[in-house]
Amino acid sequence: MAVPNTAEPSEAAEQRPASSLTDAIVGYYDQTWLDYRLLWLNPDNLAVHFGYADENTRSHTDALKNMNRVLADRVQVKAGDRILDAGCGVGGSALWLAKERRAEVVGITLAARQVQKARSYAARRNLTHRVHFEVADFTATPFPDASFDVVWAVESLCHAADKAAFYQEAARVLRPGGRVVVADFVRSGRPLDPTGERLLHEWLTGWAVPDIDTPSEHTEHLAAAGFVDARLDDVTAHTRPSLRRLYRMAYWTYPLALYGYVKGVRSAVQHGNVIASIRQYQALRHGAWFYSILSATRPAIPDM
């Protein structure tokens, strides 16, 4: 998940390859920014993703921040690491990594307005010396080979039509010994039963997600890209409180959202976001998907 503001698009937006999926993704985040801003994030966390609850969390904001800590620990982020935040949103994770782990972060997103917002937040936090944001496609980036220590993707890979292309590009830009970490939604199987497929479709369509992969599809993509030590963990138990929170918010505000849609105050995309927020949890309860954290390593060059 990632979020734009309402500023005018930059020149970089004109250089972005046009596609119906890209337009749908950018349009989704453009039109749902207010929902995210009012109901999910705050100026402190800037996280447009689900939270990770454990013994260290006491609130929604704690859980959102904790997801960053869990992922950073998973791939052992250390001071000075160069990280590509693939699908950076308004920079929540990138800014956290720069401040808390003293990493150097490049954040990329398809949406120019997200870039502008992220740059603004970085300036307010005096972190522009450690973070940089630009418009780019994480399946075909403009960066040189072997230029990052970590590729980081939080609830962004789901938007890619070709997940394998993401892993191939991650392998290209990672240095030997570099790590990739992905927090995202994973199909329980393919195909699912008719009810599971329907719930999944109604959820994903509302969030401009073409489809999500199964565990074996993810690990096959990683192996084909040359990664080793792949590990995919089901962490739904830790994200369920956050998933349920979104469901309850959408469920109880649905009548008001429907009224706004019928009256023309809210767009079809905004209304679809509310429906999707309900369906994601219904699909979860049906067993159609689970929340995972996945990591793998690009092999180091052996000593000669």
231: its two tokens: 């590990």
Angstrom CA distances, 23 to 71, 113, 206, 238, 281, stand at: 29, 13, 14, 32, 26
At 45 the pLDDT is 81
* Of 39, 169, 193, nearest in space to 108 by CA: 169
What gap in Å lies between CA 293 and CA 70, rounded to an integer? Answer: 9
Q: Tell whether the torsion through CA atoms of 233, 234, 237 and 238 is positive or negative.
A: positive
What gap in Å lies between CA 64 and CA 61, rounded to an integer? Answer: 5
pLDDT tens profile 118-175 = 999 999 999 999 999 999 999 999 999 999 999 999 999 999 999 999 999 999 999 9
150 backbone dihedrals φ, ψ, rounded to 5°: -140, 140
Angstrom CA distances, 276 to 13, 52, 289, 296, stand at: 27, 21, 14, 30
Are the CB atoms for 289 and 186 separated by under 8 Å?
yes
At 19 the pLDDT is 75
Angstrom CA distances, 178 to 73, 77, 86, 286, stand at: 14, 10, 15, 36
Is a pLDDT exceeding 70 seen at residue 51? yes
At 8 the pLDDT is 32
pLDDT tens profile 275-294 = 999 999 999 999 999 999 99
CA 273 to chain centre: 16
94: its two tokens: 């990138």
* Of 70, 5, 46, 3, nearest in space to 207 by CA: 3
Is a pLDDT exceeding 90 seen at residue 41? no
Domain parsing of the chain, residue ranges: 11-297
The total of other beta-carbon atoms located within 10 Å of residue 58's CB is 9
CATH code of domain 11-297: 3.40.50.150
